[in-house]
């Protein structure tokens, strides 16, 4: 059963030895996470609020290699991130491979990976969505370096509305 109540996010730096992680990055990460959740909220009845406790439904962390959940990350490239379907404990959590070259802000990212786009995909899983076979879908299993639009592709919009309903027409 997907989480009906508001999911919450928490940035937890457990397991991550992001040596060059500076505090300046944190606000950019929070902004990207907030924006990624707002994409799902925009097309459904979902609302989200941030909590700084480990009771959050969606806990976010960066980790490299083996980080204790049986799904080891694989260094730069290849698998970029993974997330768990809604549930207690690690259910709903989203993990990002700390060995990727993440790009957190808008603008030119060169060969860096668009964190916002990956976060939207992972939160799709956190909310209960599986992968899509539609190449244009956010939930397609392969990363595509497209800019993220607040309006979801139809396939993703239909999927999230099936779980959480569509916003009332105002």
Ligand X SMILES: CC(C)C[C@H](CC(=O)NO)C(=O)N[C@H]1Cc2cn(c3ccccc23)CCCCCCNC1=O
Residues that bind ligand X (CB under 6 A): 77-83, 118, 121-122, 125, 141-143
CB of 99 to Ca ion, least distance (A): 6
Cα 134 from Cα 153, distance rounded (Å)? 10
CB of 153 to ligand X, least distance (A): 14
Virtual torsion, Cα 65, 50, 149, 44, nearest 10 deg: 110
Cα 145 from Cα 23, distance rounded (Å)? 26
Of the residues 24, 50, 100, 122, only one is catalytic, namely 122
Using the rule CB under 5 A, which residue among 69, 99, 134, 155 binds Zn ion? 69
CB of 64 to Ca ion, least distance (A): 8
24 is catalytic: no
Contact stretch for Zn ion (CB under 5 A) within 15-23, 29-37, 49-57, 65-73: 65-73
Cα 127 from Cα 130, distance rounded (Å)? 9
Our finding on whether 17 is near Ca ion (CB under 5 A) is no
Picking from 81, 85, 79, the residue whose alpha carbon sits closest to that of residue 96 is 81
Name the pairing type of β-strands 102-103 and 94-97.
unpaired
Using the rule CB under 5 A, which residue among 97, 102, 120, 153 binds Ca ion? 97
Residues making contact with Zn ion (CB under 5 A): 69, 71, 95
């Amino acid at each position: 059963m997907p989480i009906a109540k508001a999911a919450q996010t928490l940035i937890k730096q457990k397991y991550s030895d992001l040596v060059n992680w500076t505090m300046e990055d944190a606000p950019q990460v929070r902004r990207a996470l907030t924006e990624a959740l707002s994409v799902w909220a925009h097309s459904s009845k979902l609302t989200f609020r941030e909590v700084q406790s480990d009771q959050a439904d969606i806990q976010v962390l960066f980790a490299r290699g083996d980080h204790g959940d049986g799904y080891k990350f694989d260094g730069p490239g290849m698998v970029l991130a993974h997330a768990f379907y809604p549930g207690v404990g690690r259910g709903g959590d989203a993990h990002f491979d700390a060995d990727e070259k993440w790009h957190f802000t808008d603008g030119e990212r060169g060969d860096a990976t668009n964190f916002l786009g990956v976060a939207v995909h992972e939160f799709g899983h956190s909310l209960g969505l599986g992968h899509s076979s539609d190449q244009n879908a956010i939930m397609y299993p392969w990363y595509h370096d497209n800019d993220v639009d607040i309006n979801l592709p139809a396939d993703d919009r239909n999927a999230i509305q099936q779980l959480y309903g569509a916003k009332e027409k105002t």
